[in-house]
Chain A
Amino acid sequence: MQDSPYLNLRQRLSKRDRSLREKVMTLEEASALVHDGSHVGVGGSTLSRTPMAMIWQLIRDNKKDLSVYRSIVSSEGDWLFASGICKHIETSWFSQGIVWGISKVMRHYVETKKASFQEWSHLGMGMRFRAGAMGVPFMPMRSMIGSDVVSLRPETKTIDCPFTNEPLLLVPALNPDVALIHVQRCDAYGNAQIDGLPFMDIELAMAADSVILTTERIVSNDQIRRAPDQTKIGFFNVDAVVEVPFGCAPHECTNVYEPFLSHMDYYTGSVNKDPVGAMNEYIDQYIRGPESWNEYLALLGLEEVLDAAKRGRSLLND
């Protein structure tokens, strides 16, 4: 009984206080829930709904040996590697964004073997979170087969389907210790609504042993109960709620702000020219330096914040 991986998986969840209780806290308090050596699932994708403020706090708190899992990794991957809090990232794509080319920070850390970037296909990551969310040890899928991507992934197995006899790839479940997810709004209990693309966040939340939500704003439980069909992540599945307006900066949060493009141009321009020196300066100046997240936003500049917010409302305009 004790040796059952499935029972262990369930037991990790059963330790949680699942009651309908308030769990609003600060970034610092939520950061304390992330332990050194943890496997961390990160919500959003590329430049969208990245929980930047939470990652920013983990760096300030000098976490150690985190392993990070995300559908597609953008500039937060540079931060994670260069700050030294994470030496292992599993994802399908890793660079700041297509318009900025290849991340020289990623290249530096991976090519000098200071950190590892383990590559899965995008669907591969999705099926791993899905398996984790379903409480099964793997999911079958039909891509990655035949390519060199799969030859570098001994964790996978190719089988002949027991029903059709055709080849299938099995990818192992991902059950992160903790998921970091940013949403547009949730209540004090952690009932979360997500606008726009959900990416892999709902399954990530279900797969993880604990969930930290950062949110643009906290709304009342009444507001949640008026539209329960809009609740995408439920209170029973959430351990911390942190209200952080502009918590994805310099990335975007659908209908609230688009990416801080001038800052991203400035950031990529400097770190891709000098992936060690300029990156360390950025970390000192923008991550370790400010007193608070709001002070980080102030460093990005009011113009930039307002411009990102103006563009963020564009989908709502006809």
Chain B
Amino acid sequence: MINTSAVATHDESAQAAKNYTEAEMLTVMSSRVLEDGKVVFAGVGIPLLAATLAQMQRCPGLTILFEGGVIGPFIEPGKLPPSTNEQRCTKRANMVVSSTDVLLLLQRGHVDIGFMSGAQIDKYGNLNSSFLGDDPSNPKVRLPGTGGGNDISSLTNMIVAMKHEPRRFVEKVDFITSPGFLSGGTSRYDSGLRAGGMFRVITNLGIFGFDDATRAMKVLALHEGVSLEEVQDNTGFDLLYDEGGIDVTKAPTEQELQALRELDPDRRYIG
């Protein structure tokens, strides 16, 4: 369990002064994880917004790929595509290819980072977007499925952006749609997945990585005013952390928020 005495307590004045939504926070924090010169395979919604924001703010040499088969598109502020398989995604792109070929770029190793939203994640970074309930042949809820999620998480270093809630952060997902580190340790490699793995999980509460040996989720940083206790209370498994080794992120800047709001003026994704 987490020793809460070691970390800052909840700062109510900071909370009250927030001039951004949770989704804006999530997007800005996600964008900061991306690096210039890299190739990122982005899903629709927060990943696309965050990648575009990173491109505008710090990473002019960041290349974005979409599942539909789009390489290096130009995202028009206010005209975000509703999915990554539509003509709007191809606006002023450098190249379009078949959707099989764009995924083969991942398999060949042309892509550094995969970046998706998550619905349910577990301790080892496995993601579920297929079934809720114990028995896939008799599911409580049939979810839409993997799409490219399984391929992206099998073949790249993954960043996942998601809302931090106990029902979303579970000990073990009902179904591994997109593999993280499976059952931890070397199990991912041993299963035959040679490349990639879960790199970062970004939530409205903090930034998380995975322990090098056990591959269990670990707290790397908390957002301003968020306590370790609050994070643990919103997580369905025990989080790892280094005593005294948890950073505090810097709040989104006015400049970041302004750019983000120009990208999504109808606030379809930023709340």
Contacts and interface: CB of A to CB of B under 8 A. Distances in A.
A102 B144 contact: yes
Given A121-B150, A197-B96, A202-B98, A95 B86 contact: no
A107 B90 contact: no
B99 A93 contact: no
Interface residues of B, number: 54
A198 interface: yes
Contact of B154 (A98, A110, A142, A197): A142
A48 B69 CA distance: 12
B140 to A, nearest CB: 8
Given A123-B104, A145-B193, A149-B146, A200 B87 contact: no
Given A129-B100, A149-B130, A198-B69, A144 B150 contact: yes
A98 B139 CA distance: 21
8 contacts: A71-B99, A92-B147, A93-B146, A106-B142, A126-B98, A142-B195, A147-B154, A152-B136
Interface in A199-221: 199-203
B232 interface: no
A138 interface: no
Contacts of B130: 119, 148-149
Given A122-B147, A143-B154, A144-B150, A48 B176 contact: no
Contacts of B82: 47, 97-99, 259, 261
A254 B85 CA distance: 11
Contacts of B146: 92-93, 119-122, 149
B151 A48 contact: no
Name the residue among A107, A197, A252 with the largest chain B CB count within 10 angstroms: A197
Name the residue among B67, B91, B130, B142 with the largest chain A CB count within 10 angstroms: B142
Contacts of A147: 150, 154, 176-179
Given A48-B68, A122-B103, A258 B178 contact: no
B250 interface: no
Contact of B87 (A106, A130, A254): A254
Interface string B187-200: 11001111100000
B60 interface: no
Contact of A143 (B67, B79, B87, B150): B150
Given A143-B150, A259-B82, 6 more contacts: A45-B85, A48-B87, A94-B144, A130-B100, A254-B87, A261-B82
A252 B148 contact: no
B192 A167 contact: yes
A254 B90 contact: yes
